[in-house]
Amino acid sequence: MTTARHGPDRFLADLACGGVPARREGPAIIYVVVPATGALAGVKIDTAVSVSELQSWPTTVPHWLHFREAIAFAHTNTDTNDCLPGWRRHSRDIGQWDTSAPPVRAWLAHVRGVLSTATKAD
């Protein structure tokens, strides 16, 4: 079996190579991230990204990060487009995307960094 060169299947394969199990569910790919710092440090956080935003992965990266509604940020733009029930997507710009390192490693570092500023409602 060959790995896709780009798109959602490549994203899934890259996560698997990085040791991060993931699955496609409806309009999203769901995976777990554990932030290293912040209020949620050490906590497994379900994270997702829209399949529609992964069409050019790894050349172009998603802008929106999906989290369950209990995950909150002090400052954020959110909506529920392409989200599973009980999820919200948050606008988060990754800035300049450098593909000289494995893209999934840079992506996961970005998501962990975003989660370092998050809190969880009870």
Q: Is the pLDDT of residue 22 over 80?
A: yes
Classify 117 as helix, strand or coil.
coil
Enter the DSSP assignment of 65. E
Question: What token pair was written down for 59?
Answer: 């050349």
Query: 23 Cβ partners below 8 Å, 6+ apart?
Result: 29, 30, 31
Mean pLDDT, the chain, integer: 92
Q: Looking at residue 6, what is its pLDDT?
A: 85
User: Is 31 among the domain residues?
Assistant: yes
User: Is 106 among the domain residues?
Assistant: yes
Q: How many domains does the chain have?
A: 1
User: Is 1 among the domain residues?
Assistant: no
User: Is 98 among the domain residues?
Assistant: yes
Classify 49 as helix, strand or coil.
strand
Indicate the residue type of 75: H
Q: Is the pLDDT of residue 2 over 80?
A: no
User: Is 21 among the domain residues?
Assistant: yes
Q: Is the pLDDT of residue 116 over 60?
A: yes
CA-closest candidate to residue 30, choices 20, 38, 39, 40: 20
User: Is 2 among the domain residues?
Assistant: no
Q: Looking at residue 31, what is its pLDDT?
A: 98
- The pLDDT confidence band at residue 3, using thresholds 50, 70 and 90, is low
User: Is 3 among the domain residues?
Assistant: no
Q: Looking at residue 94, what is its pLDDT?
A: 80
User: Is 27 among the domain residues?
Assistant: yes
**Domain span holding position 62:** 8-120
